Structure 1
Amino acid sequence: MTYVMLILGFVLLIKGADFFVEGSSAVARKLHIPAMVIGMTIVAMGTSLPECAVSVTASIAGSNELAVSNVVGSNIFNLMVVCGACALWTPMAVSQSTLKQELPFSIAMGLILLILGYSGMEISRADGLIFIVIFVCFLMWMVRAAKVNPVQQEEEEAKMLSGWKCVLYILLGGAAIMWGGDLVVDSASAIAANFGLSQNLIGLTIVAMGTSLPELVTSVVASRKGEVDMALGNVLGSNVFNILMVLGAAAAISPITFVQENMMDIILLTGMSLIVWVFAWTKKQVRRSEGIIMLLVYAAYMVYICVRN
């Protein structure tokens, strides 16, 4: 039954992501909002619901090690695997604003997490509240940017889906993503636990990959539909959401204690973020060859944490 639930979770994630991207793309066109903004807000928050549920639940249960490893592992998976897989499908063009604003902001949030973790080896309740406030400011900034730089769309293109269908697609897709993510995580965690894996290793691998499957599926589907900006925006938005809102909410409930392994993983996350930034700067896009390199980097990271744990 556990394996059946795992397969069912995958099916829900794939179909849910398809509906979610379709509805979100239609909303972006109707409201003349850049796809990057939709990807970094609505889609990112929807696909990050599994991470939020896992980390907050872990914080309530006092398993803070799982909360941190889940977020850091998910962010590394998003950068290396999700971006790498999308680049394999089609080269990911990166806009100037993404290079100068969204990507540096995502890297800065990782550095702040590193500094806070190093200074007191924990994220206190006050730090968690600060993270939440920064996230609210981030959302306000994105909405303001959308109003200042509206996107002009063809009228026929804007009428692809009616308003109620957009809402229905987003709600059904979001529900399927959340439920499918939960099924995958619960089933995979149960299977992994039977093999005697540590909680930190499970958080960095099975749980992180399971909760990041919505981002992977949604971004690949978005790339396949030609919504490359939404694919990249989903990754960056999810990473920002994971650090600021997921860890912020978990820390506000219960202070999150850091261990030495967490610090090393955050340093590697920052390094990988810089790799993606350099790749994006070279040709203003992430090419297929660079996507392969990113996937290989993640494979090497998997070997490292398995040997370490």
Structure 2
Amino acid sequence: MGMAWLVLQFLLCAALIAGAGYVLSRSADALADAYGWGRGWVGLAMLATVTSLPELASGVSAVALVGAPNLAVGNALGACVVNLAFLVVVDLLQRQQPMYGRASATHLLSAGFGVVMLGFVAMSLVTGRAAPQFLGVGLYSPILLGLYLLALRSVFAHEQSSRQGEQAPALERAPAAAVRREWQRFGTAALVVLAAGSWLPEVADGLSQTMGLSRSFVGTVFMALVTTLPEMAVTVSALRLGALDMALGNLLGSNLFNVLILAVDDVAYTRGPLLADAAPAHAGTAATALVMTGLVIVGLVMRPQGRVLRVASWVSVGLVAAYGINAALIYLAGA
């Protein structure tokens, strides 16, 4: 398969995912108004889950059809790193003050659970075949599922307690027909994201072979960039709506779901525990995501007001540096 044809398919996947991600954000915002949902919760649970469908589809397709565990693991962990790096763009777009000064403290819960889940993944990657397993599935998989569900419950409860006393908008504010149309648009966009995400692993695998790049590098950099386009589109759209917390909730919530995807990929991988067959270099990506999430937590607690060279906060500078170092190390590892 020629390089030009592969690149064309890759760009088409990117265009489909980006366009569908924009539709998702607009429909989700309309549904939030119709049902009286909080934007923070919509960003964390609803949008984050749907915008992570490319990672889910790509991961399952990579292990079940292509037989490439490094593509699946690299895509999931690489998407976490890309999402955290995109926080720099969010910070740059907040011209009045750094975003950490305006963000809700609720995001500390999302980031904290992300650290715990990524920590389990890093430990499993380091231990390899020595990690406990049952019926060919690593014991880290049910742990990740339990942590994800606990994170959703905890964040929802915290947000509800913070919003006590607020009057929720009534459903009658939007006509039933308009609500149905938004659900139809939302569902159609989700299917487009799922289809394009399923197509992506085969194209990425062909690119890795044609360009002589490792599957780990292609999964961590190329696939991760494309499959996070819905998150990027949703985040930018949320910022245009003035919903900073929805934007942050989408990115941090997507990271929680991306780590959960590794558990789903583990079940779909029939050759044993997924992380046992993944290259050790992915432990570096998990560590990078841990460092970047830690920087975000520090920013949310300290809420820095100054900017480096009047451009972005020092937290954003640290995020960019961590992302660049990780991409270079994965490329040099060549696994």
The bucket for the TM-score relative to the shorter chain is: 0.7 to 0.9
| Runs (5+) with no aligned partner, structure 2 | none
Q: Is the 8 A contact 2:208 2:215 kept in 1?
A: no
State the Cα distance separating 1:142 from its structure 2 match: 4.4
Equivalence for 1:139:
152
Residues 30-80 of structure 1 deviation map (CA, whole Å, 9 limit, x = unaligned): 333221211111111111111111212233254222222111111111101
In the alignment, does 2:265 pair up with 1:250? Answer: yes
| Partner Cα separation in structure 2 for residue 3 and residue 66 of structure 1 | 17
Equivalence for 2:30:
26
Give 2:17's aligned amino acid: L
Q: Is the 8 A contact 2:21 2:230 kept in 1?
A: yes
| Among candidates 277, 284, 289, match of residue 264 of structure 1 | 284
Residues 116 and 49 from structure 1, CA distance in 2 versus in 1: closer, same or farther, beyond 3 angstroms? Answer: same
| Partner Cα separation in structure 1 for residue 60 and residue 220 of structure 2 | 16
Equivalence for 1:73:
78
In the alignment, does 2:51 pair up with 1:47? Answer: yes
| Partner Cα separation in structure 1 for residue 288 and residue 205 of structure 2 | 24
Residues 210-239 of structure 1 deviation map (CA, whole Å, 9 limit, x = unaligned): 211221222122222222111111111111
| Partner Cα separation in structure 1 for residue 151 and residue 325 of structure 2 | 33
In the alignment, does 2:121 pair up with 1:113? Answer: yes
Q: TM-score, normalization: structure 1?
A: 0.85
Equivalence for 1:177:
193
Structure 1 residue matching 2:61: 3-state secondary structure: helix
Equivalence for 2:299:
279
**Further displaced range: 88-97 or 141-150:** 141-150
Equivalence for 1:96:
105
State the Cα distance separating 1:104 from its structure 2 match: 1.1
Q: TM-score, normalization: structure 2?
A: 0.79
Residues 249 and 182 from structure 1, CA distance in 2 versus in 1: closer, same or farther, beyond 3 angstroms? Answer: closer
| Partner Cα separation in structure 2 for residue 2 and residue 286 of structure 1 | 44
In the alignment, does 2:289 pair up with 1:289? Answer: no
State the Cα distance separating 1:284 from its structure 2 match: 6.7
Residues 109 and 8 from structure 1, CA distance in 2 versus in 1: closer, same or farther, beyond 3 angstroms? Answer: same
- Max radius of gyration: which structure? 2
Q: Is the 8 A contact 2:29 2:39 kept in 1?
A: yes
Q: Is the 8 A contact 2:23 2:189 kept in 1?
A: yes
State the Cα distance separating 1:18 from its structure 2 match: 1.9
State the Cα distance separating 1:143 from its structure 2 match: 4.6
Q: Is the 8 A contact 1:44 1:235 kept in 2?
A: yes
In the alignment, does 2:154 pair up with 1:129? Answer: no
Residues 30 and 143 from structure 1, CA distance in 2 versus in 1: closer, same or farther, beyond 3 angstroms? Answer: farther
Residues 269 and 159 from structure 1, CA distance in 2 versus in 1: closer, same or farther, beyond 3 angstroms? Answer: same
Residues 117 and 157 from structure 1, CA distance in 2 versus in 1: closer, same or farther, beyond 3 angstroms? Answer: farther
Residues 136 and 280 from structure 1, CA distance in 2 versus in 1: closer, same or farther, beyond 3 angstroms? Answer: closer
| Partner Cα separation in structure 2 for residue 129 and residue 193 of structure 1 | 34
Give 1:109's aligned amino acid: M
| Partner Cα separation in structure 1 for residue 60 and residue 305 of structure 2 | 35
| Partner Cα separation in structure 1 for residue 205 and residue 19 of structure 2 | 22
State the Cα distance separating 1:153 from its structure 2 match: 6.0
**Further displaced range: 71-80 or 58-67:** 58-67
| Runs (5+) with no aligned partner, structure 1 | none
Q: Is the 8 A contact 2:62 2:202 kept in 1?
A: no
State the Cα distance separating 1:185 from its structure 2 match: 5.5
Structure 1 residue matching 2:37: 3-state secondary structure: coil
| Partner Cα separation in structure 2 for residue 94 and residue 284 of structure 1 | 12
Residues 3 and 307 from structure 1, CA distance in 2 versus in 1: closer, same or farther, beyond 3 angstroms? Answer: closer
> Which has the larger helix fraction?
1
| Partner Cα separation in structure 2 for residue 85 and residue 3 of structure 1 | 26
State the Cα distance separating 1:83 from its structure 2 match: 1.1
Q: CA RMSD in A?
A: 3.0
Structure 2 residue matching 1:96: 3-state secondary structure: coil
Residues 227 and 2 from structure 1, CA distance in 2 versus in 1: closer, same or farther, beyond 3 angstroms? Answer: same
| Among candidates 184, 187, 210, match of residue 194 of structure 1 | 210
Residues 96-147 of structure 1 deviation map (CA, whole Å, 9 limit, x = unaligned): 2222x22211111111222333345557423323322333343344454555
Give 1:97's aligned amino acid: T
